[in-house]
Amino acid sequence: MVGFAIPRTVGNDIILTSHQKTSIHISTPINSFSFYIKAGNNFTLDKPNLNLSCIQSKTFINSDTSGSPNHSNLIINNCCISELKTNFFMANKLSYFDSIAIKHCTFKTGNGILFDLAAENDRKVYHNVEVFTLLNNNIINHEG
């Protein structure tokens, strides 16, 4: 089981990839998030099979809250995410994403919110994600 003692900050462009067929079990203590994407950085999950049943944070991936004008990108490609019991991704009110792309992924047997983009609710024609792409994904037995 992979464990994180503290939340991980994505402060550079990061690609997490795996060709392992069996699930990677990730465990975190109680925190607000597991991964925090700092403004201006890109985070990519490419092909991991993640079992998130031991995640105790409120959100698996969280966006920057500093108010920086720098734009980020989130790419999730060919992933299997299972046993999610928390929010998968939250775009905070003060964050900016050029693109969020979720392609060829499976989300199964969970009950958390997959993509929380509701932080901006001032109705000022402001959007913190410019392009949100969902392409050829499967959601199986998920109650979020």
> CB neighbours of 56 closer than 8 A, spacing ≥ 6?
27, 28, 29, 30, 31, 86
Pair of tokens at residue 69: 């004008």
pLDDT tens figures, 29-53 = 777 788 899 999 999 999 999 999 9
Single-letter amino acid code for the residue at 97: F
Cα–Cα dist 127/144, whole Å: 23
Cα–Cα dist 30/15, whole Å: 24
pLDDT tens figures, 3-17 = 555 578 899 999 988
Rg, C-alpha atoms of the chain: 14
